[in-house]
């Protein structure tokens, strides 16, 4: 681990930056400080609702780190992310009017107004400015680390020279996401810089009580990654350290970690009385105020006069007043828009559903249609989509030469190589999170999690970071990813490998759930899922991989949300999906001998669900039976 270098002279530490550039760094820090103080005041007046985690005291980290970025670089942020959002957005604004508009929209977001960056839905903990490369903040400690890693993967796959900065606190370094993501980033040599804002406390717990090592940077030797500790109260020290790491990443050197020792002026949240900190400790750190120290340096070195510095301060204060007035005068979101932007809604082409139904009917009636197994149908779908779109890639455990858990990815590694068919460590959370980040950054990942039983290990990443962010970020993101997994019983492999957890994934808004039963459906629906702009949980059944059925040779897709009437009947409607489609058809054949005609409907996609077809059938038969392998309590049917 590399420690900070010997102190430089004040003049050399200015790094050759021009006077306007140095004053810009000061202005950004001042605006962050005034922003946080204003937010604290508005929280006290109940004009901002909910929790807010203030960044005051840590301004030098956000401003110093982000000052090293190019316009096309990316960042991910944390629940204490206002400083990151402001530094990034302000650095990309070209005029004073654009800079003011940026502050206006930030303050409006925290006030929950429709004019905010996320239409008031993100608020303090989930603010994002995706259009400016800020992939968003997360309310889950460490939740953004795999996302940043995935974004860096997309950058590498697209052969770009962009870099991702990932901000998080010392508390996040004790999460599994930290270790899984850093290991993956190092293994794949990804262009990401992890910036640890070590403010000494994870909520109320001192870092010294949460780690035997005093420095987070000491841990990264386990991943053969450079780690450096810097004074996080010194904007120029942060800038220098992060600049070196960014340059290394941009030149293909892989990831680095920069740990910035800093201190938050306020408590963990506004309701925190900070009883765990002594007043003497607070006094000592406030004597190191990064803004006061930077102003003193600029004046001492003759960069700016006291009057000039006061002018910068006055303009910053005025900008925050303008932003606050704008926010409080802005309208609240309309209740009519409550469900907008949960999904990217794709309009169906005229006749699309009818054409698919006609194709299905034709191939099932034509004895000349080739018969292939379920696994091969999935394999063909992957091959065709990877041929069609270079943004599509596959990753997961054993998907390479081994061909996946049931051979679905067989031959892909040989055809597309290690760049687009990536074996991952056994790290479900980071598989899920990397898929989210990669999808947000312009690719279309198909990530395999070997068993649906293991998907809860990635639940935060897939559900919180992936499925919800389009809504929370005001409809400005798209997360076109597929999580392929398999579930169900039948192989005598016990409780941790035999579950049917589709109902779990149906619960979360923002993600679709697809469960095809036939080879025909498996291929057509997987192709559609890969092309869709929403996260899709694609669940296969472990006993269906060898099941053969008719699959046409040519190109076809199946619309999501369209059920298949597998058998017509007049006496009772049976809704069954996945392997239970076959059991329902077997039962229907037996009941037909007794004069009972069963209509069997296979939804194929559980979300979106074709309620229209199901309701029409029940109106005809007057009876409904659901068949599922899942738990009795809380199952889909």
pLDDT per position as a tens digit, 360-396: 999 999 999 999 999 999 999 999 999 999 999 999 9
| Cα gap 527→484, rounded to integer Å | 12
Q: Residue 110's pLDDT is what?
A: 96
What pLDDT band is residue 402 in, cutting at 50, 70 and 90?
confident
| Cα gap 435→390, rounded to integer Å | 16
Q: Once rounded to an integer, what is the mean pLDDT over residues 176-201?
A: 97
Other C-beta atoms closer than 10 Å to the C-beta of 305 total 11
Other C-beta atoms closer than 10 Å to the C-beta of 331 total 10
Nearest by Cα to 59 from 289, 276, 248: 289
Q: Once rounded to an integer, what is the mean pLDDT over residues 141-163?
A: 97
| Cα gap 403→378, rounded to integer Å | 12
Other C-beta atoms closer than 10 Å to the C-beta of 208 total 11
For 392, the 3-state DSSP assignment is: strand
Q: Work out the mean pLDDT of the chain and round it to a whole number.
A: 95
Q: Once rounded to an integer, what is the mean pLDDT over residues 195-204?
A: 94
Q: Residue 3's pLDDT is what?
A: 46
- Of 12 and 363, more confident: 363
* pTM of the entire predicted model: 0.94
What pLDDT band is residue 403 in, cutting at 50, 70 and 90?
confident
Q: Once rounded to an integer, what is the mean pLDDT over residues 291-306?
A: 96
How many residues are listed for the chain in this entry?
637
CA distances from residue 373 to 55, 448, 498, 527 in whole angstroms, order as listed = 56, 19, 22, 17
Whether residue 561 contacts residue 608, with contact meaning beta carbons closer than 8 Å, is answered with yes
232-255 pLDDT, tens digit per residue, is 999 999 999 999 999 999 999 999
Catalytic one of 53, 82, 84, 497: 497
Terminal Cα distance for the chain, rounded? 55
SS (H, E, C) 423-487: ECCCCHHHHHHHHHHHHHCCCEEEEECCCHHHHHHHHHHHHHHHHCHHHHCCCCCCCCCEEEEEE
CA distances from residue 58 to 11, 204, 267 in whole angstroms, order as listed = 23, 17, 13
CA distances from residue 556 to 169, 381, 391, 531, 553 in whole angstroms, order as listed = 48, 10, 20, 12, 9
Percent of the chain with pLDDT over 70: 98
Classify each residue of 252-279 as buried b or exposed e, where b means 16 or more C-beta atoms within 10 Å of its C-beta. eebbbbbbbbbbbbbbbbeebebeebee
Q: Once rounded to an integer, what is the mean pLDDT over residues 419-447?
A: 97
268-282, 561-575, 622-636 — which is least confidently predicted? 268-282
Whether residue 461 contacts residue 147, with contact meaning beta carbons closer than 8 Å, is answered with yes
For 403, the 3-state DSSP assignment is: coil
- Rounded to 5°, angle at Cα 186 from 394 and 176: 85
pLDDT at 523 over 50: yes
pLDDT at 4 over 60: no
Q: Residue 244's pLDDT is what?
A: 97
Q: Residue 11's pLDDT is what?
A: 60
Catalytic one of 24, 428, 448, 629: 428
Catalytic-residue membership of 428 = yes
Catalytic-residue membership of 497 = yes
| Cα gap 231→238, rounded to integer Å | 7
């Amino acid at each position: 681990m590399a420690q900070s270098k010997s102190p430089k002279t004040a003049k050399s530490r200015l790094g050759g930056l021009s006077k306007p550039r140095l004053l810009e760094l000061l202005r950004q820090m001042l605006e962050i400080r005034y922003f946080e103080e204003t937010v604290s005041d508005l929280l006290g007046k109940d004009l901002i609702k909910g929790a807010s985690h203030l960044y005051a005291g840590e301004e030098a980290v956000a401003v110093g780190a982000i000052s090293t970025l190019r316009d096309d670089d990316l960042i991910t942020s944390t629940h204490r992310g206002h400083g990151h959002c402001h530094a990034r957005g302000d650095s990309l604004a070209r005029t004073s009017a654009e800079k003011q508009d940026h502050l206006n929209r930030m303050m409006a977001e925290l006030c929950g107004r429709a004019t905010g960056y996320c239409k008031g839905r993100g608020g303090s903990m989930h603010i994002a400015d995706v259009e400016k490369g800020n992939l968003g903040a997360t309310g889950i400690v460490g939740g953004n680390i795999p996302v940043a890693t995935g974004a860096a993967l997309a950058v590498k796959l697209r052969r770009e020279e962009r870099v991702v900065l990932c901000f998080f606190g010392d508390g996040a370094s004790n999460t599994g996401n930290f270790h899984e993501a850093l290991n993956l980033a190092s293994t794949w040599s990804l262009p990401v810089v992890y910036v640890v804002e070590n403010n000494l406390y994870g909520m109320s717990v001192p870092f010294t009580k949460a780690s035997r090592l005093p420095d987070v940077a000491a841990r990264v030797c386990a991943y053969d990654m450079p780690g450096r500790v810097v004074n996080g109260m010194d904007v120029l020290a942060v800038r220098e350290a992060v600049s070196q790491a960014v340059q290394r990443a941009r030149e293909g050197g892989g990831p680095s970690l920069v740990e910035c020792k800093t201190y938050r002026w306020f408590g963990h949240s506004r309701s925190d009385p900070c009883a765990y900190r002594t007043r003497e400790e607070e006094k000592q750190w406030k004597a190191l105020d990064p803004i006061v120290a930077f102003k003193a340096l600029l004046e001492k070195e003759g960069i700016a006069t006291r009057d000039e510095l006061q002018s910068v301060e006055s303009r910053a204060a005025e900008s925050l007043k303008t932003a606050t007035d704008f926010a409080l005068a802005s309208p609240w979101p309309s209740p009519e828009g409550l469900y907008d932007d949960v999904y990217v809604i794709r309009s169906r082409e005229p006749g699309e559903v009818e054409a698919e139904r006609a194709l299905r009917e034709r191939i099932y009636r034509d004895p000349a249609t080739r018969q292939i197994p379920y696994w091969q149908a999935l394999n063909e779908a992957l091959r065709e989509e990877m041929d069609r779109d270079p943004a599509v890639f596959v990753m997961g455990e054993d998907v390479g030469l081994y061909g996946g858990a049931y051979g679905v990815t067989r031959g892909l590694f040989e055809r597309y190589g290690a760049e687009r068919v990536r074996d991952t460590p056994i790290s479900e959370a980071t598989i899920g999170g990397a898929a989210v980040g990669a999808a947000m950054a312009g690719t279309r990942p198909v990530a395999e999690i070997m068993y649906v039983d293991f998907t809860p290990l990635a639940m935060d990443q897939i559900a919180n970071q992936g499925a919800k962010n389009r809504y929370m970020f005001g409809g400005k993101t798209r997360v076109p990813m597929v999580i392929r997994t398999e579930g169900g019983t039948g192989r005598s492999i016990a409780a941790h490998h035999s579950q049917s957890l589709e109902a779990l994934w149906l619960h979360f808004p923002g993600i679709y759930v697809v469960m095809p039963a036939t080879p025909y459906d498996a291929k057509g629906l997987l192709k559609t899922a890969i092309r869709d702009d929403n996260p899709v949980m694609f669940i296969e059944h472990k006993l269906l991989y060898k099941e053969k059925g008719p699959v046409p040779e040519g190109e076809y897709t199946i619309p999501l949300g369209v059920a298949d009437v597998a058998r017509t009947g007049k006496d009772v409607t049976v809704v069954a999906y996945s392997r239970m489609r076959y059991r329902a058809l077997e039962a229907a054949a037996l009941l037909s001998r007794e004069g009972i005609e069963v209509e069997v409907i296979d939804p194929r996609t559980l979300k979106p669900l074709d309620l229209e077809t199901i309701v029409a059938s029940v109106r005809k038969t007057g009876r409904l039976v659901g068949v599922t392998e899942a738990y009795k309590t809380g199952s889909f049917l």
